[in-house]
Chain A
Amino acid sequence: MREGPEEKTLLEDVPWPDEPPVMLPGETYGTVTDTIADAVLTRPIGLGWLSGFLVAGFFVMVLLVAVTYLFIRGVGIWGIEIPVAWGFAIVNFVWWIGIGHAGTLISAILLLLKQTWRNSINRFAEAMTLFAVACAGMFPVLHLGRPWLAYWLFPYPSSMGVWPQFRSPLVWDVFAVSTYATISAVFWYVGLVPDFATMREKAKHPLTKKVYGIFAMGWRGSARHWKRYESLYILLAGLATPLVLSVHTVVSFDFAIAVIPGWHTTIFPPYFVAGAIYSGFAMVLVLAIPIRKYYHLESLITMRHLQNSAKVMLATGLIVAYGYFFETFIGMYSGSTYERFMLQNRWFGPYAPMYWALILCNILIPQLLWIPKLRSNTAFLFLVSLDILIGMWLERFVIVITSLSRDFLPSSWGHYTATRWDWAVFTGTLGFFSLAMFIFIRIMPAISIFEMRQLLPESEVKAE
């Protein structure tokens, strides 16, 4: 895919005058390598990093306490009840999974689309994906009444002779999420191998040398290896692309398959996927903007990346808006009492504030991204991204809780209120996620070095 001049010219290509390049001039193989590698190898641990690390660590402790108590007492410590038997756990699960979409999307789909600007953000986007999926993965286990039996969801020959029930979307979840986690992990690792080799050579301390050496698996840059490597990389991208789309589709089935008004909707798969990408890119920006500043990577992560991400958010945001609109339209059009009431309840019911906040965060505010001036303002982008993250969380809250709290029989309507333990677990996973990110940027090249080298003009083979 890399042959042919057209794609090299991407470096300097300028669709319109003020379009920033994907890499600032003056970089060479050496400088690229050093800037990225030294951030890990030579840079001392700064106060900013340390304090962030500690704060994150604290919340991980909160998580541990919350989970311990949860296992001792049972899920009753949460706000869940009948009829709202799913609460924060599922909301957070869907939210984290959604965030976990950006990474693979950037590395796989943009790779296939030859969007080489992805090269400087794919590495930590993938890392982010892994950690987000890890956070998401906790919840399905934690929310079980008897979490120690979670393995019953896997098809293994048990002495009881019973198997999982394959018609249940929860079983699909198990397959989708575990597959997604595995594939993302290997994809990420394969991408890292040549860079581990670089680190191996650059590291001074014998121990670090050895460790990186082990992970590099003796990579030596042989042309034959590169050939196979490249073909696998493309194939993985090819596999990961439908996978990434399938994961949130399957997650949306958790709701779409059910009979509950507000869940039972065919529009769910596409707009869940869009929403996932939406929040995923938001999270990428939330991470990229500070990292770039802190490690002075402005020359590698340029405004071009930020702006493109912003455009992706704008696009997916509109798809999501379309989803909301059609949910409403069908609700009215269907003529079903339950559907109509569901809408009425979302708009004016006890959870109405959540719904309107969601509209504000996910649809209205992001429209500001149309303005190029704001698009090129990092602070603004950061805030909008946060806003979108909140909005997407609210979306899941509205879908899960508002729908459940008032379904078919008015006699069984209820009201859900989160307890402190719900919040403890949620903030705990936020802590876990950040902690993982902090560690990651300290021990691994946060940007794919070898792929950055390819962006340099001199990497091109001049035909004589």
Chain B
Amino acid sequence: MRAVAGQDKSFGPDEKMGKDSLVKIEAVCPSKMELAEAREKLSQAKNGPQYWRCLEELAQTDGFFEMLHREFPRQASIWPADGSRRNFLKLMSASMALAGLSACVKIPEQPIVPYVRQPNEVVLGNPLFFASAMPFGAYASPVLVESHEGRPTKIEGNPEHPAGLGGSDVFMQASILDMYDPDRSQNINYLGALRTWSDYVVALKSALNVQNAVQGAGLRILSGPTSSPTLATLMDQVQTTFPQSKWIQWEPVNRDNVRAGSIMAFGEYVEARYNLEKAEIILSLDGDFLSSGFPGFLYYARQFAARRNPELKEKMARFYSVQGTPTNTSGKADHHLPVRACEVEQVARAIAAGLGAGGGSGANLKPEYQKFVSAVVKDLQAHKGAAVVIPGDNQPPAVHALAHAMNSALGAHGNTVFFTETVQVKPQDQTAELKQLVSDMNAGKVDLLIVMGANPVYDAPADFGFADAMDKVPLRIQHGLYQDETYDHVHWHINGTHYLEQWGDVRAIDGTASIIQPLIAPLYDGKSEYEFIFALVGSPQTSGYEILRNYWQGQMKGGDFETAWRKALNDGFIANTASPAKTVSAKGGNIAPTNTISPEVMEVIFRRDPLIYDGSRANNAWLQETPKPIMNLCWDNAVLMSPNQAKHSGLVTGDIVEIDVNGRKVSGPIWPQPGHPDNSITVFLGYGRTKAGRVGTDIGFSAYKLRSSDAPWYAETKITKTGSGFGFAHPQGFQYIDFSDLPPGKSDDLYGRNVIRKATLEDFMKNPDFAHEGVEAPSPEMTLYYNYQYTELKWGMTIDLNSCVGCKTCIVACQAENNIPVVGKEQTMRGRQMQWLRVDVYYEGGTENPAMYYQPVPCMQCENAPCEVVCPVGATVHSTEGLNDMVYNRCVGTRYCSNNCPYKVRRFNFLLWNDWSTPQYKMMRNPEVSVRSRGVMEKCTYCIQRIAEGRITAEREGNRKLRDGEVITACQQACPAGAIVFGDLNDPNSRVSKIKAQQRNYNLLDDLNTRPRTSYLAAVQNPNPELSESS
């Protein structure tokens, strides 16, 4: 077992741990022989993939068709469909298991280094942690990977990383599922027939020899953008070997506008970064900086939360947003101005003009925006040096240029905004480059096309006709994780490796370089990008590890490389590699206006999906089932429009409309979204995949079909009603979806239930105790019986409604930590979603421009738990630490507890939802949380397994008391904004006790006398008095 030997060597810093994990490994891992067998099996299952595709497509389309034509899906019987899709999937997984691999842990062969220097206060509750980084687009998301006996099971944020601050986003949390996805490409093949790496190399070499003659004139490499220093050098080598070859970078959700805007403003492309900690006024011009995937989201979220703390009194930041599609970012704004995406620019100009920033001229500003603009201008003026303007990636270059102008006019440079070299390697105008490639291919100039980590056939602009052009290329090679849409157009397919399986490096938005270290050997013997590219110029057998080490050996001059390397691996990043701030000089001059869309014509806005992103995450069931921020819609994309517009055009939720963007037509169901501007619709990219895998295939519609290179973010359109309807899965109740369902005048006050308690900063300062007025919560003394005393530990949690940005990361984190099953669209529509934690969204005010409040709701752990009293078998009872324990083994499934739970946080396994057969999933699960079977109730347990872990550690260390912050729940750890705090209420100095002592602290539905342990901090808005009534 070479693998294990390697492992053994690896744990230099912590021999012991290495040793006992070694023992476990041998237990888990049968023998090398079996692996060989598995591979053999694999090579036999030649036509496997084909087979699955057909079957799956068949089943899928049926389901889709049925849904499409079903008028009241919720009333449909379940016996024909009856989760048959799920069964089908199970079968598929099983067959996959045969063809794929034996459920056997595969240890990386090179020494990797565990994250031993854990933050002193934190026992993350599990055996081994490795620091690494997840490449996302061009940027790194710093991660800590939890590993059980050599199986990565959970991703956390890396608290040490300067650009991470310990937070995480949905994509980091869900990436673990990506790695274990049974649908990943499992083999190298040529036109669908299995081949070996050496077969490929032979074919490649002969092709390259031809290219050598012409200096690679016919060689094109198409890949996603990257910031990897090593990969950059490899690309340079390719360039030198084949001077005529071209490297094209393409990602559908690209930053071309940012680049162009920067060039417009400064004559060069620089990375703009914001320091919200210094910001008192934040103006976002469609800058969706509080949603997962926005570069720098992790620390923007944390800084924003810090600045929004009402305890700062006057210093609390005020947030204006001007935006088309409402997002969880605009929902946090004190003043949100919903404008069509194409109108953001004119508002920007007006504000710029008001600030006297260059280029601005308030031409043709709609009068109804005037008030907002002037108020914002005044406010910004008043906070020079402490104000910041954040433009959105999907706004035209002009807006970015204007933003830069405003920021400099506001003296933001160096205070709230600063610039660095771009992190991305060789940034380019991706759309233009891709266009060039297409024309080259059409012109027959391309002989060898290598597609790496991109899926252009699916996501290239519709006007390019990429697939057809591509087919003209004599030899096409694809390297990737999936056999996706592009796979159908290539000769060679090389299966890639997930970042948890490979060596690599990547830089975070601040430039800090991180080493990606593998947590497990490639499940399907894939090749990393490094190995794949290196095969073009060097020996095809060189391992990614060598490539990487060689590069860094060159970099880390001076001092002992070995220690430096080990430290880098240990920390998860290489110290002092952050890119230095850069002074830029504004070019000035007028900023040419972008041609806009006339107010009469309807506009369609293209946005990346908040969870599926550009479609690359489409096969991730966790992301699919997580309700999208503020919409709480899952498993589909929709045509978002304002409720007004829906009413006027006689459309109700789910009506299917045909969207026509100059000739290109796509149909999709409509979704009235409060806060959406009129005469404008939004479609999310990333759906309508035809070859995503068992989960992501054939759900939703593909907005890429509408998207052309000249109008990538918004375009003119017209919609027509098709007459057919569609059923959405939206875990949050009907009433916010179908507004006609609300009793007249009741839409605002939540039926006076005081669910969300809120005040303006003014009122808060006048009356800090506002959260408790008008609600009578019976005092604990008011009882005929005695109150239980919790003497030892007394767990409690607080959730700050002001900090929560509604990004839903906590939901995915909880799902990953607690082995929560996925139930699929159909069951979600039946109200059977399983996520223990939900984020309720409440709208306040009319549907035109409502204020939004996000309220994460886990189990409240009531001291007078209504659920416990009614359980006939005592399957849910109170622990001595005040936890509302759920005893799965004792549960017989009467569901009475759920009925009697006022917060409805209990989830029931109505059917067998956990996949017991797929070996990949078996490897993925958290071994410390029991996997629930059907007929059992489950719910949030405050991550009791982590509490237990903490307690054990404390006892091992001489029965000491648990330190505050030693036990951290998964949701708390994942939250990028730090809105969730958990700890011991008996310890007056614990963070949670201190927070609970604040006056903003209130209990949900406390008039029921359930005495929840989880409490909320009331929301405090900081409106501008000038605008407050129109807020």
Contacts and interface: CB of A to CB of B under 8 A. Distances in A.
Direct contact of A and B (CB under 8 A): yes
B735 interface: yes
A411 interface: yes
Contact of A75 (B743, B872, B935): B935
A413 B893 contact: no
21 contacts: A75-B893, A77-B911, A81-B831, A82-B832, A83-B898, A83-B904, A86-B899, A145-B891, A145-B937, A146-B935, A152-B873, A170-B896, A259-B900, A408-B753, A408-B903, A411-B733, A411-B755, A411-B842, A411-B857, A412-B732, A421-B79
B911 A73 contact: yes
Interface of B: 74-75, 77-79, 82-83, 732-736, 741, 743, 750-753, 755, 827, 830-832, 838, 840-842, 855, 857, 866, 869-874, 877, 890-896, 898-900, 902-904, 906-912, 934-937, 1004-1005, 1008
B832 A76 contact: yes
B469 to A, nearest CB: 49
Given A145-B893, A170-B894, A411-B842, A74 B935 contact: yes
B873 A164 contact: yes
Contact of B873 (A82, A86, A165): A165
Given A170-B870, A341-B751, 8 more contacts: A86-B896, A145-B895, A145-B934, A146-B936, A153-B872, A408-B1005, A411-B733, A411-B841
Contact of A81 (B751, B874, B894, B910): B910
Nearest to B1008: A259
A85 B753 contact: no
A77 B78 contact: yes
A149 B857 CA distance: 31
A286 interface: no
Contacts of B733: 406, 410-414
4 closest A-B pairs by beta carbon, nearest first, are A145-B893, A145-B935, A76-B910, A81-B831
A411 B908 contact: no
A164 B899 contact: no
Contacts of B743: 344, 348
B934 A165 contact: no
Contact of B831 (A75, A144, A415): A415
A168 interface: yes
Contacts of A413: 733-735
A257 interface: yes
Contacts, number: 188
Most buried by A among B83, B857, B902: B902
Given A74-B934, A143-B894, A409-B755, A82 B735 contact: no
A257 B732 CA distance: 27
A258 interface: yes
Contacts of A167: 869-870
Nearest to B742: A410
A145 B908 contact: yes
B831 A407 contact: no
A350 B741 CA distance: 9
Contact of B840 (A258, A338, A350, A411): A411
A82 B910 CA distance: 10
A228 to B, nearest CB: 39
Contacts of B899: 83, 85-86, 258, 260, 404
A174 interface: yes
B46 to A, nearest CB: 35
A420 B908 contact: no
A121 B251 CA distance: 82
A150 interface: yes
Contacts of B877: 165
B757 to A, nearest CB: 14
Contacts of B895: 80, 85-86, 143, 145
A81 B734 CA distance: 14
A163 interface: yes
Given A83-B904, A259-B900, A344-B743, A146 B735 contact: no
Given A259-B866, A344-B743, A417-B74, A144 B910 contact: no
A168 B898 contact: no
A76 B871 contact: no
Contacts of A270: none
Given A82-B906, A409-B903, A419-B78, A257 B870 contact: yes
Contacts of A338: 753
Nearest to B838: A411
Contacts of B842: 410-411
A76 B934 contact: yes
A261 B238 CA distance: 71
A171 interface: yes
Contacts of B830: 79, 81
